[in-house]
Structure 1
Amino acid sequence: MRTLLLFCALLFAGQATLSAQSNNLWTTLAKITYEKRFDDLLGFKVDVPVFAPEIKALEGKVVEVTGYIVPVEGYKSHTEFVFSAYPYNMCFFCGGAGPETVMEVTSKAPVKYSTERIRLRGKLLLNDDDINRLMYVLIDAELVTGNGDSAGN
């Protein structure tokens, strides 16, 4: 019986850690500054992100993040989409938030569009050199909860 209780306590602690990581990831990703850098192609200086050490430590790591699928023009498929910390009406593309609150996602399997909050797990990549892409990219993403999943959010 003690072993079962210990196992359950450890399982709960692990889930709480993943949940905390998921909820705090956007807070961590917000720890950026910008510097002006000359872009040869454009012919003028552009703002490029400077990632805090906490963000750099996450590059290439598998992370969990909660948020919302953003229906943007040029939507390629259910495996390539933009993900936001905020619902569409408050997201970066509507002027309600900064560029650190969105990320490009490429998922392993199609993720059905929903206006509800979902949780994804994938490998985080950082982008500070391609101004035509978002600064955060989540690859090999998998749906953890949401889209009618009985596990909820």
Structure 2
Amino acid sequence: MKSNLLLFFISLSFSFTSYTQVKKVNWTDMADVKFERTYLEDYADYFLIPEFGETIKSIEGEQLEIKGYVLDLVEGGTTFLLSQHPMATCFFCGMAGPETIIELQFETKQTLKTDQIITVQGVLALNKSDINHCNYILTDVVIIK
């Protein structure tokens, strides 16, 4: 009897810890941001500094799912972005805004190709001050499809 009860509580705790609410978002959701061109003296240049809207701030730290195009920025599979648009019309080609890219931080090395379409899950972090990273960062990223 005690072993059955113990087994029940163990399985119940696994079901609670393994279940995580994942919020499916799209690129329209990610557009809840405005940018102000700001001069940063440390870099002697202008940068677009984000002011995140209430909607996007409300999902910071949440587990998200989003689909987009892979941008492989550093040969060797160490730095990937997810983009709303393929490489030919992405942010880096001057065809879109910084709200159309998300930095992907994987736990393990990945083999992905530019313009590959994937769906990922990860935890959203908002970056307002570190110009060496994107404004949107997904940590603990896993590929869903």
Give the TM-score range, shorter chain: 0.7 to 0.9
Aligned residue number for residue 103 of structure 2: 104
Task: Give the length in aligned residue pairs.
Answer: 123
Higher alpha-carbon Rg: 2
CA contact (8 A) 2:68 2:84 kept: yes
> Per-residue CA shift, 1:100-135, capped at 9, x if unaligned?
000111113343314331100000100010122210
TM-score normalized by the length of structure 2: 0.73
Cα distance in structure 2, aligned partners of 1:44 and 1:93: 17
CA contact (8 A) 1:109 1:142 kept: no
Cα distance in structure 1, aligned partners of 2:137 and 2:107: 14
> Per-residue CA shift, 1:8-49, capped at 9, x if unaligned?
xxxxxxxxxx7x923x2x111112112354524124654310
Query: Please, which runs of 5 or more residues in structure 1 have no aligned partner?
Result: 1-17, 146-153
CA contact (8 A) 2:71 2:87 kept: yes
Amino acid in structure 2 at the alignment position of 1:141: V
Amino acid in structure 1 at the alignment position of 2:72: P
Aligned residue number for residue 4 of structure 2: none
Amino acid in structure 1 at the alignment position of 2:107: K
Give the stretch that moved more between structures: 134-143 or 113-122: 113-122
CA RMSD of the aligned region, Å? Answer: 2.1
> Per-residue CA shift, 1:26-85, capped at 9, x if unaligned?
11111211235452412465431000000101111100010011132x34525x411111
CA contact (8 A) 1:102 1:134 kept: yes
Aligned residue number for residue 89 of structure 1: 88
Per the alignment, do residues 82 and 88 of structure 1 end up closer, same or farther by CA in structure 2, a change over 3 Å counting?
A: same
CA contact (8 A) 2:77 2:111 kept: no
Q: Please tell me whether residue 124 in structure 1 is matched to residue 127 in structure 2.
A: no
Aligned residue number for residue 21 of structure 1: 24
Cα distance in structure 2, aligned partners of 1:81 and 1:44: 25
Q: Please identify which structure carries the higher strand content.
A: 2
